[in-house]
Structure 1
């Protein structure tokens, strides 16, 4: 591909993903002359050598990712007790930079999100959450305080997009919790991987 991702006129179409604007592709891939780009490409090619890849997600969040890809080859916990805050009943939404662990924590606690990505994979995650999954409203690129406030109000109490986001997050919370239960999709998948690695029979 000639040029840089950020200069592309059309979104990038990756197997298993919603179309991603070039400027929202992972930061390490934005400069082809950088060592980060070369290392990303190097390790990306090595994925084909793996027998399995552990994915930090759950089925309902990305329901058709597996079928769509078939055949194709800033966390500072001292700032605040994030999971405790998300678990509190008074928390109406989460202004999140879209690091994946924070996204999953928000979904498990049923908290709808306002997506404000900054760097790394966050912009790409924001596209998936807002345009693909429907679990967040994204802050406009201009990031004016009035726009941010409007996004927060919409997610917390809006009758349109906000209501859709709240309903979607409630559905995803239920699915995430069920996936973590004994016999759930996540525990079953981890059990299968562990059994393959150890050569043991499934429990």
Structure 2
């Protein structure tokens, strides 16, 4: 261990981010085993079963993990959901500082810190120890560009962005309507907006930003970012994606009924025709209202197409499960319309709360993906080349949806009515377009190009692999 350059990686207490950054750690060691990696994991309230499973898997990769003391807020506290994470990370800074100093003093040749974008406050800690500091940006280069240009936007636009009549033009990015900017930018008077600006400004402290994308996916955006880096206006930009999971077994402690377990849904897929099934999932943290769940169920039925749907208990707050990445399994079927399960029997399969997504996406029977546009799910789908129906819920998902549908033209985007609901007829039309319509041929061909490009980027001599290998070699040389 003493001969290996030591890298510290700081995660955040959100399952999807933990999954992504741990995949990065494994990828680093795969490309350069002459590194020693320690992962620091802040905890909000308690560690979820899904997070425990991820952390347990690290030991086989010789990745050491440090679990910090949990941070909790009083149940009666009035903290906005979007601010819970920033507050938790701020409160975790003293514990992160203690862990960093301990590692630094242990003569393990600590040379660099990599922090999740939402753990940007740790960059100052790295500077104080005179070690290199990097941000791992787990979403798209377009969203990264938006963050780096946010101060400029704030100064040049005086009204709410959603009120702008013309799309916003950011160098290297597709023009985007103000309503499609991240949720944090939708109310300029809010504390959430102020924190977004502060967090984006914090990116400039980094020596470099590792963005989970690849040149062939966002070539113009990445090129524009790197040109600004050469002029010393931005930190160095390293496109290292797609960093995705290879798939794993669900270790959730909640019991599933036998006919809903993971292997059963895959066996059901085994019986279906190639490319005939629509996979429907809103990620590890997304939820729908009861009204919207009803419309989705009836839209799936109306389409007449086969589907595999990961269903969660409804909630009016779409990000209610964002932190723990799970919800109750108990009798999920009671939230579905009366008679729905019987009517779609044989044509549809309902899975409570969690499904082996990677295995489903790679299955020959899966022909399309209805997704919330979280970047993890987006990249997992790009790797497997399926046409998409994009249904953004919160955070940067509308921005991702705009890029996929308007920019890359690999997705059909659903339309919300004046009450913010996607109606059953709209859902059925979108499903048919992606699975059986003329449009699906174009989308499938475009997705096949991206699928091949993503595979090429991750090959040993591919664009992303070479960037990450070179960076790892620089750290190794510093560590001596």
Shared topology, TM-score over 0.5? Answer: yes
**Residue of structure 2 in register with 1:144 after alignment:** 423
Could you tell me how far 1:61 is from its partner in structure 2?
Answer: 0.9
In the alignment, the residues of structure 2 paired with residue 154 and residue 186 of structure 1 have an alpha-carbon distance, to the nearest angstrom, of: 33
Q: Are 1:154 and 2:429 counterparts? A: no
Unaligned runs of 5+ in 1: none
1:130 aligns to 2:405 (yes or no): yes
| Contact 1:181–1:187 (8 Å) recurs in 2 | yes
Q: Does 1:55 align with 2:211?
A: yes
Equivalent of residue 166 in structure 1, options 439, 444, 463: 444
List runs of 5+ in structure 2 lacking aligned partners: 1-156, 235-282, 285-324, 327-352
Question: Conserved in 1, the CA contact under 8 Å of 2:383 and 2:454?
Answer: yes
- Structure 2 SS opposite 1:53: strand
> CA offset at residue 196 of structure 1?
2.9
Among candidates 387, 397, 407, match of residue 112 of structure 1: 387
TM-score (structure 2 length as normaliser): 0.40
Q: CA deviation at 1:58?
A: 1.4
**Which among 20, 24, 30 is matched to residue 186 of structure 2?**
30
Once residues 217 and 436 of structure 2 are traced to their aligned partners in structure 1, the CA distance between those partners, rounded to angstroms, is 23
Deviation at 1:38, TM superposition (A): 1.1
Identify the match of residue 174 of structure 2 among 6, 15, 18.
Answer: 18
Higher-Rg structure is 2
Residues in 1 aligned to 2:453 and 2:223: alpha-carbon distance in whole angstroms: 19
Q: RMSD of aligned C-alpha atoms?
A: 1.8
How many angstroms apart in 1 are the aligned matches of 2:215 and 2:426?
32
The residue number in structure 2 matching 1:2 is: 158
2:385 aligned with 1:103, yes or no? no
**Cα displacement string for residues 106-125 of structure 1 (whole angstroms, at most 9, x for unaligned residues):** 11011110011111100010
Q: Aligned equivalents of 2:221 and 2:464: distance in 1?
A: 15
In the superposition, the TM-score normalised over structure 1's length comes to 0.91
Which one has a larger percent strand, Structure 1 or Structure 2?
Answer: 2
